[in-house]
Amino acid sequence: MRMYVKFDFNALCKKVLDEKLKEQGVKYRLLDFGEVEFYETFTKEQHNKFKKNLEDYGIEIIESQKNALVQKIKDTIVELVFSEEIIPVKASIYISEKLKHSYGYLSNLFSEVTFTSIENFIILQKIEYAKELIIGNKQNLTEIAHRLNYSSVAHLSTQFKNTTGITPSQFFKIIERRRKVQSLATF
């Protein structure tokens, strides 16, 4: 038997962060985008222990301001793409308003640190979400294209194929075949 689960990585990370900070016994407040505000001094020893505890969960402490801002950009994009509601604003406007920096500055910084563009990162996130929606089998391609703010199914299909090498329809057929094989294997 198999079970499929959906993760809310932000909620999961906040929960782990909260639990590990409570173990440290320091006074703190969790802010947006994985930021923590401490109300007391964090010793080097506490910092190293906390860092090690987080690494066990695949969470790392970001040391540089540039990397922290790039992570905020990524978190904002994930929030935008995976949002339950459709946000009727261009991604560039949403990102710059949310992070209170010009889009040009954020775009240049992102490219400098990640060696890819914000636009490419958005496309990758949209395609990952499209795959999740296709696997979930609750929406057709028209609904998925609308949900991800594509102008048409053709636009979604083109970006999907450029990113994955196959069309959304081919991806759906592969998923269906896997489900049939798995259901036959359970008998």
75: its two tokens:
């978190």
Helix axes 9-24, 44-55, angle to 10 degrees: 140
The predicted-structure confidence for 130-180, as pLDDT tens digits, reads as follows 999 999 877 899 999 999 999 999 999 999 999 999 999 999 999 889 888
Can you give the pLDDT at residue 33? 64
Q: Show the domains of the chain with their CATH numbers.
A: 10-61 (no CATH), 121-185 (1.10.10.60)
Can you give the pLDDT at residue 157? 95
Q: Return all residues near 18 (Cβ < 8 A) that are at least 6 apart.
A: 30
Cβ atoms 82, 127 nearer than 8 A? no
3-state secondary structure of 113: helix
2 pLDDT band (50/70/90 cuts)?
Answer: low
pTM value?
A: 0.74
The predicted-structure confidence for 65-122, as pLDDT tens digits, reads as follows 898 899 999 999 999 999 888 887 899 999 999 999 999 999 999 999 999 999 999 9
- Judge residue 99's burial from the number of C-beta atoms within 10 Å of its C-beta, 0-12 exposed, 13-18 middle, 19 or more buried: middle
Mark out the alpha helices in 9-165 (DSSP H runs): 9-24, 44-55, 65-81, 91-99, 103-114, 118-136, 141-147, 153-164
Query: Does residue 43 have a pLDDT over 90?
Result: no
